Structure 1
Amino acid sequence: MTAPATQTTDNLITARVDAIENSGWGRSFTFYQPRNAAFWVYLMLVVTGAFKLFSMLSASAPAYGDAIALSIVLFGVYGAVFWWFTHHIDRYARQPVKLIVVAFLWGSFAATWVMAANANDAILALYAKTFGQAWAKDWGAGLTAPFTEEIAKGVGLLLLVALASRLVRTAFDGFILGAFIGLGFQIFEDVLYALNSAASQFGADPVGAAMSTIMLRMVFGVAAHTLYSAIFCAGLVYLLGRPAEPRRVGRGLILMASAMLLHGLWDSAAALSQGKAILLFPLFVVMITAALVLVFRVFRMTVPRERQFLRDVLTPEVERGVITVDELTALCGDRKARKTFRKSAASHADRKRNGYVLEAAADLADALAQARGTESDRVEFARSEVSRIRSGQPSVKL
């Protein structure tokens, strides 16, 4: 393959610095911001929500403690898998772990128990009074939760923008942070569902009843709040516009509306199937498939800007001879491109080495971002690691 288009070293370095600045890559996040009103709003709502949730759980613990503990453990493991996967796909200008935790806590406590729960109860009561109990039971959730819950999660992203304006720069950032907000929402909502099931049938078999709900929520949870809020928050960033993401109102509104529509159809599944079990399962399959296809398309829509940032950061390293054009192409490509590069080697050992070289090059990009595009000891060490791994030399500690 040919080398990248000839440019002066100064131009390449300028493009690197601009990419790091525009993406916010390598910047740290400071949560404690006493002069920022967003900090106090976030803190008040999260603490209030946490207190409300723990009050509910502690009141039920004497009777249903085993069911509560089981649901927290299993949904915790389930959430950890989603956490790993979501963090895994954020392989470019990665968000600081502290910011991800802040996003998760918003979804866990504030969006769920302070905003959405109160709004849902009020609107459902109005529906019942206006249209009758039967109608509210069938359609109330589907015409309430998509608006109250997605907006509550979206408010969290707005607060994150106010708290970390230099970090939330692209629609992909909204996609990732939205996923973590939704993950927090989903886990603790599911814990409450399990608790409600434990109390069914006069609490005759709380653990068994809770386990049935836990399994059901796990199976169908692949197309739930984590997915909805990833789509909604990506759309919200498009709607607002950010320094590294031009404003696209139409695209933003379509994505936000799509997330609400998916959510509404899910919550209206029983009414749409008219209570017929033979229709309910195929309906869920169709909705899950549609949701997964949409979230994949949104990922494909938002990730190219992140890949361009990575290319701009590492292109000068091609000129220096640290990485090759093929390695840069694989790093800035999709999973198929990386797999093709790894398999291009003749032997199994060389294929593994290709994979390690890509990981080392990604570490080099992180080091360059941390150094704001300048030279540092960590950058030099990361460069030496790329060469060492490619040559098969033993590891050298700093």
Structure 2
Amino acid sequence: MSGPQYMGPEARDPRLRRPQAAPYPQAAPLGPPAPVGPVGPVGPVAPARTGPTTVRRRRRDDIAKYALTALGALGLAGLLRLISATADEGASFTAAVLLALIPLLVVLLTVWWIDRWEPEPPSVLLTAFLWGAGVATVVSLVVNTTASIAVANATGLSDSGEIVSTVVSAPIIEETTKGLGVLIIFLLRRSRFNGAVDGIVYAAVVAAGFAFAENILYFVRYSDEIVRTFIMRAIASPFAHVIFTACTGLAIGVGARMRSRSAWAWTTPIGLAGAIALHAFWNGVLASAPALYFVVVIPFSLACVALVVWLRWRERMTMRKRLADYARAGWLDPAEVDIITTGSGRSAARHWAKARGPQAVEAMRDLLKAASSLAALRQQALDGHAEADHAAQERELLETVRRSKRVLVGW
């Protein structure tokens, strides 16, 4: 079999021209395996090494992540204990938690669908969820209650305090605390924050945690009107908080892809302003004019769905372009690029591997994950955000590709 057709600088570098192994069996849904041998960078990447500074930074980021996770867990535990203590009976609290799990499951399944091309680490998603449920909710509850009482005492009107808390304090405090969680995750995981889709995913998980805790509070508080409350919060508006906070997450993600490393400093306030405005409109205008739900909310929600679908499509096209770079260097076959970057291709690949046993399933999973990470890593370098250990990460991922394909060749 002839070797791959090299293009660009790879074609002029004899060190990258290596013989190919035998192709997969005809029954396999993949093309020829990548060349084996020493790993060389593909295109303009940063020739750096992993040093003590990188190791210390990662250790520091891990400690911060664990601290945030613990803080969120403590906050959620304390909030649930407070809510259960104020419930009329234990059964109402249990029912509230179970009912709150329904919209949470819907949101998390949606997040999984959005993020399935390049899944974010479960541990970081857990941190995001607990920040929303345990930190943002507790801070917002304290500040909103304080603001409501202060305005009511100043004006002598309890309704004034409620209005200010709902239309002014809640949108500002809640969106700021939720957005802060997304921003902290971005700063801790900047090297793996790959754009708008990642921003939306983390924002959605933070908002899902916040809505989960808030729904429990509402279901307990209005247990005498539980059916109406459940319909309004879990059926009519399960994605309300997600849409609000997604404005901030989208802005952070857009800033992450810009050439300037400090772009997030001005994109984040823009997204936060949009989140606050939407939240205030929802709490103020829609609460007083429910008929606008069908005129405004449904069309706007459909527009948000269309935006997410388009962003996912653009991410897939970016992945295809970056993996094509590795295909030109011989690490992937063009047919494999098509498989990795299409839902039907991935499904067929997994089905083929499943029929051949656990070893093939594991190799296929590693191949798909490594290829997605390679595309994101290379795009990051092209955006001008290559980390100090970029070359080492690329070599590790390419070795995973080579090893996985060797296993699959055996079938």
Same-fold call, TM > 0.5?
yes
Shift of 1:108: 0.9
Please name the residue that 2:8 is paired with.
7
In structure 2, distance between residues paired with 1:55 and 1:149: 21
* From 120, 125, 141, the counterpart of 1:117: 141
Q: Answer yes or no: is the 8 Å Cα contact 1:33–1:39 preserved in 2.
A: no
Instruction: Confirm or deny: 8 A CA contact 2:286 2:292 kept in the other structure.
Output: no
What are the Cα deviations for residues 370-391 of structure 1, in whole angstroms up to 9, with x where unaligned?
Answer: 8833367743453257778xxx
The answer to whether the aligner puts 1:366 opposite 2:369 as a matched pair is yes
Identify the residue that residue 237 of structure 2 maps to in structure 1: 221
Decide which of 278, 303, 310 is 1:300's aligned counterpart: 310
Alpha-carbon offset, residue 165 of structure 1:
3.6
Secondary structure of 2:181's counterpart equals helix
Q: For the structure 1 residues 53 and 307, does the alpha-carbon distance in structure 2 shift closer, same or farther, using more than 3 Å as the test?
A: farther
Aligned twin of 2:401? 379
Distance in 1 separating the partners of 2:348 and 2:257: 41
- 1:276 aligns to what? none
CA, structure 1 residues 245+301, in 2 after alignment: closer, same or farther (shift >3 Å)?
farther
Aligned partner of 2:84 in structure 1 is 58
Q: How many residues align?
A: 347
**CA separation in 2, counterparts of 1:92 and 1:16?**
24
2-structure distance, mates of 1:142, 1:186: 17
CA distance in 2: counterparts of 1:267 and 1:330, whole angstroms: 45
In the other structure, the counterpart of 1:100 is 125
* 1:67 Cα deviation from its structure 2 partner: 2.3
Instruction: Assess if the C-alpha contact under 8 Å between 1:15 and 1:313 holds in 2.
Output: no
Distance 1:316 1:164, change over 3 A: closer
Match of residue 282 from structure 2: 266
Whether the 8 Å contact between 1:228 and 1:259 is mirrored in structure 2 is: yes
Q: Return structure 1 stretches of 4+ with deviation > 6 angstroms.
A: 240-246, 357-362, 385-388
Unmatched 5+ residue regions in structure 2?
Answer: 17-39, 49-53, 354-360, 375-391
SS of the equivalent of 1:373 reads: helix
1:27-49 C-alpha deviation (Å, 9 max, x unpaired): 99x99859966765x36742552
| Aligned position for 2:330 | 320
Which of 300, 308, 316 lines up with 1:290 in the alignment? Answer: 300
CA-to-aligned-CA distance 1:232-252 (integer Å, 9 cap, x gap) = 122245468777977277754
RMSD, matched Cα:
4.4
Report deviation, 1:86. Answer: 0.6
Tell me how far 1:365 sits from its aligned partner: 4.1
Alignment CA distance shift 1:69-1:93 (3 Å): same
Residues 103 and 367 (structure 1), Cα distance of their counterparts in 2 relative to 1, 3 Å cut: same
Could you tell me which residue of structure 1 aligns to residue 348 of structure 2?
353
- Pick from 75, 82, 85 the counterpart of residue 49 of structure 1: 75
**What residue is the counterpart of 2:388 in the other structure?**
none
The verdict on how the C-alpha distance between 1:354 and 1:210 changes in structure 2, with shifts beyond 3 A counting, is: same
Q: Is the 8 A contact 1:236 1:253 kept in 2?
A: no
Q: 2:205 aligns with which of 156, 180, 185?
A: 180
1:77–1:35 Cα change, 3 Å = closer
SS in structure 1 at match of 2:141:
helix
Cα deviation for residue 225 of structure 1 reads 1.3
Contact 1:116 1:152 in 2 (8 A): yes
Q: Trace 1:139-150 onto structure 2 (pairs within 5 A).
A: 140-150=165-175
Partner of residue 391, structure 1: none
Are the aligned partners of 1:157 and 1:178 in contact in 2 as well (CA < 8 Å)?
yes
Q: CA deviation at 1:272?
A: 3.8
Q: Distance in 2 between matches of 1:257 and 1:234?
A: 12
